């Protein structure tokens, strides 16, 4: 159980900042949570948690955590599918399923038959069988009632499709790099961790920074662009 919950809150799933494995284990032991859904109602146990010396979560920390949980309800469809922890379904496979059936919503995708899933590139018998498990649909029904599921934009005709980006430094519009990365990948771009000859753009709001990544980009003649420049590209401005 703990492994599935850790996966559920991980960066490429719901990305709930501050919710560690140790905290989840304590919540399970205290019977505050027993399923994915319970995480979104943890405020029912606010008094017990902030007054528990063992947990060391005081009111401000608890407020930050519940804010992160609330924010996580805004989730892109592929990340939500990935969060379910279906065996063999990584984020890339979840995106492939959504792209193949882009006219379907979350419940419809979770209700796909084995034959329909086998139509997705990279999905074989084992993944199709696990994906089509009825328990995924039952979980999806409950989650859909409380989440704000974001539509997944097609990479077709995107101004940045096929481009490679590296993101560094602090961000202003995006809450974190993962949110920015998810948007770029949804539009067909690639996001890498380090600058190389294969990088098309380095995103850094401090364009004049003397950081190692900025220096490497300048050495290789790779444009260093701000977040504002990036948003202009996303909207087809460049």
Walk along the chain (238 residues) and give the pLDDT tens digit of each residue: 899 999 999 988 999 988 999 999 999 999 999 999 999 999 999 999 999 988 889 999 999 999 999 999 999 899 999 999 998 999 889 988 988 888 889 999 989 999 999 999 889 999 999 998 877 778 888 899 999 998 765 555 577 877 899 999 999 888 888 889 888 887 878 899 999 999 999 999 998 899 999 999 999 999 999 999 998 888 765 5
Identify the burial level of 98 via C-beta atoms within 10 angstroms of its C-beta, where 0-12 means exposed, 13-18 middle and 19 or more buried.
Answer: buried
pLDDT for the residue 200: 95
Query: What is the pTM for the complete model shown?
Result: 0.67
pLDDT for the residue 161: 79
pLDDT for the residue 157: 54
The owner of tokens 């608890």 is: 62
Backbone angles phi, psi at 126, to 5 degrees: -65, -50
pLDDT for the residue 236: 62
pLDDT for the residue 10: 94
The owner of tokens 């850790």 is: 6
pLDDT for the residue 16: 93
pLDDT for the residue 154: 55
pLDDT for the residue 103: 82
- Of the candidates 103, 98, 140, which has an alpha carbon nearest to the alpha carbon of residue 120? 98
pLDDT for the residue 22: 93
pLDDT for the residue 122: 83
pLDDT for the residue 156: 55
Count of CB atoms situated within 10 Å of the CB of 160: 21
Residues near 69 by Cβ (< 8 Å), separated by ≥ 6? 16, 19, 39, 40, 42
At how many degrees (to 10) do helices 2-9 and 21-29 cross? Answer: 130
Task: Give the pairing of strands 201-203 and 164-167.
Answer: parallel
Measured in whole angstroms, the distance separating CA 200 from the mean position of its chain's CA atoms is 23
Q: Which residues pair with 225 in a beta bridge?
A: 203
CA-CA distance, 209 to 106, in Å (whole number)? 42
pLDDT for the residue 153: 59
Give yes or no for a contact between 104 and 116, defined as CB atoms under 8 angstroms apart. Answer: no
């Amino acid at each position: 159980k703990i492994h599935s919950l850790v996966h559920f809150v991980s960066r490429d799933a719901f990305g709930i900042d501050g919710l560690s494995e140790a905290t989840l284990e304590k919540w399970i032991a205290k019977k505050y949570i027993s399923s994915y859904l319970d995480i979104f109602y943890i405020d029912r146990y606010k008094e017990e948690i902030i007054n528990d010396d063992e947990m060391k979560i005081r009111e401000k920390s608890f407020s930050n955590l519940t804010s992160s949980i609330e924010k996580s309800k805004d989730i892109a469809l592929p990340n939500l599918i990935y969060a379910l922890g279906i065996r063999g379904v990584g984020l890339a496979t979840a995106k492939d399923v959504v792209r193949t059936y882009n006219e379907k919503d979350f419940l419809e995708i979770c209700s796909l038959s084995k034959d329909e899933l086998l139509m997705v590139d990279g999905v074989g018998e084992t993944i199709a069988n696990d994906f089509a498990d009825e328990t995924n649909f039952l979980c999806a029904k409950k989650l859909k009632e409380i989440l704000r599921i974001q539509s997944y934009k097609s990479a077709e005709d995107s101004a940045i499709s096929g481009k490679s980006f590296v993101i560094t430094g602090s961000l202003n519009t995006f809450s974190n790099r993962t949110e920015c990365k998810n948007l770029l990948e949804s539009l067909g771009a690639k996001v890498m961790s380090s600058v190389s000859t294969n990088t098309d753009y380095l995103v850094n709001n401090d364009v004049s920074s003397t950081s190692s990544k900025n220096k490497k980009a300048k050495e290789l003649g790779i444009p260093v662009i701000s977040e504002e420049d990036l948003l202009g590209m996303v909207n087809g401005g460049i």
